[in-house]
């Protein structure tokens, strides 16, 4: 199947949504609360309208799973999985670290992923079986090991104050056994950075398909490894993810297993 037409359209729309986000950052915008902590801004909604609207025009027969609206399902073979703005808390606070994330699932398999980081003008993309790239240059995960010399990334769920699955114990265990952990606030970029070799490993819990679908393909296509916390094969519909350069994966799984058995 020729994936290039999907990739070209996804890249074009990701750049358009990214330009909108760049223009609106640090401007007064409408912000609503989804929950006590969880926000949504007018820019999340406008970006989703741009992305889904644009794809619907080009590919009217496709299905859509996106964060801010329910588009139903027509049982199509092709489904776009979209986070229009990953890193909403950052965006709402004027912290310039957020991204557009788009993936295309065909017959249940993620075949294409695009992540655009507007403030760095970096466009990460991957097609299954064809490798991953950043602004046209091939991407590869880092050659770094062991865990003690590695830089990791993670995040915490919005309901971490009220739910026991809050990642706090895992965070403490990892912090004692690696070089450092970054909590930058955009899971899609954490995964893109694993693919680019800028971060050696990433884990998180309670993520949604739109947070990870594009990033998981990027990591796999850049030569990394992605599993569930127990080492089982990972699906984007499983909320517990570990992604790494492969070399530190077993060490990461061992730490997560200790946490699960505590």
Which positions touch ligand IPD (CB under 6 A)? 83, 86-89, 155-157, 185-187, 207, 211
* Nearest Cα to Cα of residue 67 among 97, 98, 112, 22: 98
CB of 207 to ligand IPD, least distance (A): 6
Residues 122, 2, 60, CA angle at the centre, nearest 5°? Answer: 85
Cβ(216)–Cβ(222) below 8 Å: no
Cβ(78)–Cβ(106) below 8 Å: yes
Give start and end residues of each alpha helix (H) in 34-167: 42-58, 88-93
Helix, coil or strand: residue 207? coil
Using the contact rule CB under 5 A, the part of the chain among 28-36, 86-94, 103-111, 223-231 near Ca ion is: 86-94
Residue 140 binds: one of Ca ion, ligand IPD, none (C-beta under 5 to 8 A by kind): none
CA distance 148 to 135: 31
- Classify residue 232 by its DSSP letter: P
Q: Which of 20, 47, 55, 67 binds Ca ion (CB under 5 A)?
A: 67
Q: Under the criterion CB under 5 A, does residue 48 sit at the interface with Ca ion?
A: no
CB of 198 to ligand IPD, least distance (A): 16
CB of 98 to ligand IPD, least distance (A): 7
Using the contact rule CB under 5 A, the part of the chain among 17-25, 105-113, 144-152, 206-214 near Ca ion is: 206-214
Interface residue list for Ca ion (CB under 5 A): 67, 83, 85-86, 211
């Amino acid at each position: 199947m020729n994936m290039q037409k999907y990739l070209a359209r996804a890249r074009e729309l990701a750049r358009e949504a990214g330009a909108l986000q760049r223009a609106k950052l640090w401007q007064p915008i409408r912000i609503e609360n989804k929950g006590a902590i969880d926000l949504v801004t007018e820019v999340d909604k406008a970006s989703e309208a741009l992305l889904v609207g644009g794809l619907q025009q080009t590919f009217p027969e496709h299905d859509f799973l996106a964060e801010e609206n329910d588009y139903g399902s027509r049982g199509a073979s092709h489904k776009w999985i979209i986070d229009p703005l990953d890193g909403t808390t950052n965006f709402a606070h004027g912290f310039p670290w957020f991204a557009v994330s788009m993936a295309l699932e065909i017959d249940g398999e993620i075949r294409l992923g695009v992540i655009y980081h507007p403030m760095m003008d970096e466009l990460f993309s991957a097609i299954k079986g064809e490798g991953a790239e950043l602004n046209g240059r091939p991407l590869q995960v880092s050659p770094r090991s062991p865990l003690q010399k590695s830089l990791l990334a993670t995040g915490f769920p919005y309901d971490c104050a009220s739910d026991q699955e809050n990642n706090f114990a895992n965070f403490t265990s990892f912090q004692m056994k690696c070089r450092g952990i970054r909590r930058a606030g955009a899971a899609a970029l954490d995964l893109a950075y694993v693919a680019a070799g800028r971060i050696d490993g990433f884990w998180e819990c309670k993520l949604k398909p739109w947070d990870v679908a594009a990033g998981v393909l990027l990591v796999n296509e850049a030569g990394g490894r992605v599993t569930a916390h127990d080492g089982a094969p990972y699906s984007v519909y499983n909320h517990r993810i570990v992604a790494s350069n492969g070399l530190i994966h077993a060490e990461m799984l061992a730490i997560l297993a200790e946490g699960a058995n505590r």
